Structure 1
Amino acid sequence: MQNYLAEVINKAFELLSKYPLCDSCLGRCFARLSYAHTNEERGKAIKLTLLLSLDYSLKEHKIQDSNQVKEIMFNMGQISYGIFSLYFGDDFQNRSCYICNNRIQEIKRKFYQKALSLLREKGYKTFVLGVSLPRHMRDIEQNFIVENGLIYYESLKNEIKREVGKLLTGEESKPDIDNPEVEIIYDIEYDTILERKRTKHYLFFYNRLVRGIPLSSWYAKGGLSLEKLLNTQINSPYSEPSDVRIVDDYPLITEVDLNLNQINGFYLKKSGRVSGTELDVIYNVKPSIRVYRVTVNAKEELRDCVKVFDTICDIFIEAKDFNELKQKLAELRGEILGIDLISTTGKSNLLANNYIRP
Structure 2
Amino acid sequence: MSKSSSGKWVAEQALSILRSYPLCDSCLGRCFAKIGHGYLNQDRGKSIKLSLILEIDRKIKEHELGNLEEVKEILFNIGELGKPLFLHYFREEFQRRSCYLCNDTLTQVKEDFFSKALSILKERPLRYVLGVRLSPRTQELETTFAMNNALLYYESMKAEIRREVGKRLGEQGYEPEMDNPEAELVYDVDSRTVEVIRKSQRSLYLYTRLSRGVPISSWYSRGGDSLEREVERKIIVPFTEPSDVRILDPYPLIIEDYDEERKEVLGYTLVKGPTLGKREYNLVIQTKPSTRVYRVTFYSQDRIGHEIYGGIQDLILEGRSQEEVLEKIREMELELISVDLLRTEGRHQRIRALLTGKE
TM-score (norm 1): 0.82
Q: Structure 1 residues 62, 338: CA separation in 2 closer, same or farther (over 3 Å shift)?
A: same
Q: Structure 1 residues 350, 154: CA separation in 2 closer, same or farther (over 3 Å shift)?
A: farther
Farther off after superposition, 109-118 or 202-211: 109-118
* Distance in 1 of aligned mates of 2:332 and 2:262: 40
- The equivalent of 1:111 in structure 2 is 113
What SS does the aligned partner of 1:93 have?
Answer: coil
> What does 1:308-327 correspond to in 2, within 5 Å?
308-309=307-308, 310-313=310-313, 314=315, 316=317, 318=319
Alpha carbons 1:269, 1:356 under 8 Å: kept? no
- The equivalent of 1:306 in structure 2 is 305
> What does 1:18-33 correspond to in 2, within 5 Å?
18-33=20-35
- The equivalent of 2:182 in structure 1 is 181
- Does 2:88 align with 1:89? no
What SS does the aligned partner of 1:131 have?
Answer: strand
- Does 2:75 align with 1:73? yes
Pairwise CA distance, 1:193: 2.6
- The equivalent of 2:246 in structure 1 is 245
- Does 2:199 align with 1:201? no
- The equivalent of 2:52 in structure 1 is 50
> What does 1:11-22 correspond to in 2, within 5 Å?
11-22=13-24
Q: Structure 1 residues 306, 265: CA separation in 2 closer, same or farther (over 3 Å shift)?
A: same
CA deviations over 1:124-169 (Å, ceiling 9, x no partner): 2432110122222222323333343433322211110122223333
Alpha carbons 2:203, 2:254 under 8 Å: kept? yes
The residue identity in structure 1 corresponding to 2:340 is D
CA deviations over 1:63-119 (Å, ceiling 9, x no partner): 223233222212211210111122232243322222222221122233234323433
What SS does the aligned partner of 1:30 have?
Answer: coil
Farther off after superposition, 212-221 or 64-73: 212-221
What SS does the aligned partner of 1:167 have?
Answer: helix
CA deviations over 1:18-48 (Å, ceiling 9, x no partner): 3221100111122233333211111111100
- The equivalent of 1:164 in structure 2 is 165
Cα RMSD between the aligned structures? 3.5
Alpha carbons 1:295, 1:315 under 8 Å: kept? no
Give structure 1 stretches of 5+ with no counterpart: none
What SS does the aligned partner of 1:237 have?
Answer: coil
The residue identity in structure 1 corresponding to 2:176 is P
The residue identity in structure 2 corresponding to 1:175 is P
What SS does the aligned partner of 1:177 have?
Answer: coil
* Distance in 1 of aligned mates of 2:161 and 2:251: 40
* Distance in 1 of aligned mates of 2:56 and 2:280: 51
- The equivalent of 2:125 in structure 1 is 124
Pairwise CA distance, 1:2: 10
Pairwise CA distance, 1:343: 4.9
TM-score (norm 2): 0.82
Alpha carbons 1:124, 1:181 under 8 Å: kept? no
Alpha carbons 2:289, 2:320 under 8 Å: kept? no
Q: Structure 1 residues 12, 332: CA separation in 2 closer, same or farther (over 3 Å shift)?
A: same
The residue identity in structure 1 corresponding to 2:151 is L
Q: Structure 1 residues 336, 32: CA separation in 2 closer, same or farther (over 3 Å shift)?
A: same
What SS does the aligned partner of 1:193 have?
Answer: strand
- The equivalent of 1:137 in structure 2 is 138
Give structure 2 stretches of 5+ with no counterpart: none
Alpha carbons 2:131, 2:162 under 8 Å: kept? yes
The residue identity in structure 2 corresponding to 1:100 is C
* Distance in 2 of aligned mates of 1:173 and 1:125: 9
CA deviations over 1:254-296 (Å, ceiling 9, x no partner): 3334433866643445532212232234334445775655433
* Distance in 2 of aligned mates of 1:2 and 1:343: 55
Pairwise CA distance, 1:12: 1.5
* Distance in 2 of aligned mates of 1:11 and 1:70: 18
* Distance in 1 of aligned mates of 2:148 and 2:322: 42
Percent identity over the alignment is 40
Q: Structure 1 residues 190, 344: CA separation in 2 closer, same or farther (over 3 Å shift)?
A: farther
Farther off after superposition, 135-144 or 15-24: 135-144
What SS does the aligned partner of 1:212 have?
Answer: coil
Q: Structure 1 residues 352, 2: CA separation in 2 closer, same or farther (over 3 Å shift)?
A: closer
Farther off after superposition, 263-272 or 67-76: 263-272
